[in-house]
């Protein structure tokens, strides 16, 4: 089953996992040490991130390491860029309005 990327990153635990593995590949046990939850819960979050292709797993001996799928994150960033420009334009307009109000204040 393919999950929605934005539903996956809406969860704060999954965002925290992404933040941790962005720095270095980690095992589920190493990740679980950072959370007040079970290893099984962390593994479920990892599975969702793998299904969304945000994270990939790599077998190294007996351990499975999870690492960030940078290309997928870049794809999301590119999609968000269109909205970033809209937000920046609106904030600039708001700044202009506030400046005008401030200048016209006695």
What CATH number did the domain enclosing 41 receive? 1.10.10.10
- Could you count the other beta carbons within 10 Å of the beta carbon of residue 59? 8
Phi, psi at 66, each rounded to 5°: -110, 135
Domain holding 37, by residue range, is 5-104
Q: What's residue 3's pLDDT?
A: 76
pTM score > 0.85 for this model?
no
Q: Which of helix, strand or coil describes residue 36?
A: coil
Total domains, the chain: 1
Confidence band of 104 (pLDDT split at 50, 70, 90): confident
């Amino acid at each position: 089953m393919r999950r929605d990327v934005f539903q996956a990153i809406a969860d704060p635990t999954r965002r925290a996992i992404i933040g941790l593995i962005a720095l270095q590949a980690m095992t589920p046990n190493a990740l679980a040490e950072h959370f007040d939850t079970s290893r099984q819960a962390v593994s479920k979050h990892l599975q969702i991130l793998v299904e969304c292709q945000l994270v990939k797993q790599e077998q190294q001996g007996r351990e499975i390491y999870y690492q960030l799928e940078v290309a997928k994150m870049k794809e999301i960033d590119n999609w968000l860029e269109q909205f970033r420009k809209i937000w920046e334009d609106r904030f600039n307009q708001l700044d202009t309005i506030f400046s005008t109000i401030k200048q016209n204040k006695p």
